Structure 1
Amino acid sequence: MPAAALDDATTYLLASGELTLTRLARADDLDQINALHARCTLATRFSRYQAARRDLRPAEWRQLTDPARGTTWITALAGDPEQAVAVTHLMRTDRDGVRELGLLIEDSRQRQRLGTQLTGHAIAVMTGADNRAMLTIARNRGAVLPLPTSSTVDLDIPVAG
């Protein structure tokens, strides 16, 4: 991670005591993101994408890092800023004032408060009805969980201000 990117990074402390750095993602981060995907289990990738994704294609990553479509952040451990441990997407939707939040967190970094910390500015979450981790994060952020009627659940999370 270049020094300028480190200056703009936000730090989060994991329950394990490890410090992370979160910064805006760039188009040239695709290799790091695909390496993150490779370290995640199929179950983790399925929870994120509702499909058995192995990686992202360059065109997909360009869309996810296009500011006109939303915002994507990359998170790494402070001691190893070149190895992503999480990626967060907050993307525009066709509904005015609603964004879609997506998180992919490396398995070994899950359940350490990182997902909750990265969810900080979320407006809307779409996740699998059986994705207990994301449902817990959403509930902790004030979402009212509807009764699931399919394998996907749409949640609204109130944001102060």
Structure 2
Amino acid sequence: MSQAPTTLQPGDHSIPALDGRATLTRSAVPADRTAVSAVHARCGAESRHRRHQTARQRSTRSEWRSLTSQDRGLTWVTRPADAPDFVIAATHLLRTPVARTGELAILVEDAWQRVGLGTKLMRRPLGEAHRLGMASVHELTDRDNHRVLSLCRSLSACVRDAQGGAVDLTLPVSEDVS
């Protein structure tokens, strides 16, 4: 079994939180599944529901293996800079069956929300989407998730579909998203 890297690798990046805490984001590997499951366990049902549209608590081995497969897209994990084995967020940019279209999903641990991390974690995949040949990226969120809806609007998203409590947004992809 492969080990999760504990030192900064090429492609890793630092994301400072608005409150001054430092984080590092790197590509996810299969060995991160346990740490990402722990993020789910530390999040409240509302956060998990907003991410999965259910109160799901973990990914199975086969699901996580699929999420970390480069054939499927890109997945990153984020951790505090001083805690190499403690994951606080997972970000997925996945290919969809629709040509040149991706899907974005982010889960940020409750204790790390409202410090600008989600905003920064959303911007990087939009830049990577262009490199993967995607022209647009979808984000599915709850109708009452005002923070994500506001962020998506600031990134020029448009509503693709809204049914029940869910809103499916389309985010444009450009080369210069930062």
TM-score (norm 1): 0.92
Task: Report the CA distance between 1:147 and its aligned residue.
Answer: 7.6
Note the aligned Cα RMSD (angstroms): 1.6
The one of 86, 91, 97 equivalent to 2:89 is 86
SS of residue in 1 equivalent to 2:33:
helix
1:27-66 superposed matches below 5 A:
27-66=30-69
Task: Report the CA distance between 1:73 and its aligned residue.
Answer: 0.2
Q: Which amino acid aligns with 1:41?
A: G
Q: Which amino acid aligns with 2:155?
A: R
> Does residue 150 of structure 2 align to residue 136 of structure 1?
yes
Task: Report the CA distance between 1:128 and its aligned residue.
Answer: 2.0
Gaps of 5+ in 1: none
SS of residue in 1 equivalent to 2:85:
strand
Find the counterpart in structure 2 of residue 6 from structure 1: 8
For residues 64-109 of structure 1, what are the alpha-carbon distances to aligned partners after superposition, in whole Å with 9 as ceiling and x for unaligned?
A: 1111111100000101121001000000011111110000000011
Q: Partners in 2 of 1:56 and 1:147 — Cα distance? A: 26
SS of residue in 2 equivalent to 1:127:
strand
SS of residue in 1 equivalent to 2:87:
strand
Tell me the matched-pair count. 160
Q: Which moved more, 1:63-72 or 1:151-160?
A: 151-160
Q: Partners in 2 of 1:80 and 1:137 — Cα distance? A: 28
Q: Which amino acid aligns with 1:99?
A: G
Task: Report the CA distance between 1:146 and its aligned residue.
Answer: 6.0
SS of residue in 2 equivalent to 1:28:
helix
**Deviating 4+ runs (over 6 angstroms):** none
Do the aligned partners of 1:115 and 1:137 also contact (CA within 8 Å) in 2? no
For residues 111-156 of structure 1, what are the alpha-carbon distances to aligned partners after superposition, in whole Å with 9 as ceiling and x for unaligned?
A: 1111111111332212222222221221121113468343222211
Q: Go from structure 1 to structure 2 and tell me whether the alpha carbon gap of 1:124 and 1:146 turns closer, same or farther (over 3 Å shift).
A: closer
The one of 76, 80, 83 equivalent to 2:79 is 76
TM-score (norm 2): 0.84
Do the aligned partners of 1:139 and 1:145 also contact (CA within 8 Å) in 2? no
Do the aligned partners of 1:37 and 1:55 also contact (CA within 8 Å) in 2? yes
